[in-house]
Amino acid sequence: MNLLNKQKRISYTDRINEVSPIQLASSNPYYIHGKIPSYEEALIYAIKQKDVRYLIASLSLFRKISNWSLLYNIAKKENLIAQIIALYEVSRKVVKKVRKMPKRFINLAKKRKSKHYSYIIKNISSDDFKDIEKKWRVYIPLNLADFEEYKR
């Protein structure tokens, strides 16, 4: 591999680790060459991993998101809008200083709300976030005990 190319690469995991109190180690990182992935792309990547540690670490990304329309468009393409909003509401309860989501994003998500419940991670649901699960019809695989690192 060319040394110049190796220097200019960054993975989604590295991007998440920049802002998260929980550091992730990926056995098979997905490197991007030539550009730095946005926080919005890193959030979608973390959700698609379907791993609890990725989800816990990715909640701090909501503090850095500035381009909500990009996040909506990527989430719409990946069919993850309800999961994004459910995780956003969890992060508002757990992570400090999370900015408000634009009303337009929420209103567009309400129009697309499904009649059926969906899982972020198969067959795992929360005991502590039942109100958010019911509101967005998404089973959240996290509990308050998972967020010890955020309280420090």
The domain locations on the chain are: 3-26+36-151
Amino acid, res. 69 = S
> What burial letters (b/e) apply to 24-33, b meaning 16+ CB within 10 Å?
beeeeeeebe
The pLDDT of residue 152 = 60
The pLDDT of residue 78 = 93
Asked whether 46 and 61 are in contact (CB, 8 A), the reply is yes
What pTM, to 2 d.p., does this model score?
A: 0.89
The pLDDT of residue 115 = 81
Residues of the chain with pLDDT under 70: 1-7, 151-152
The pLDDT of residue 149 = 75
The pLDDT of residue 31 = 85
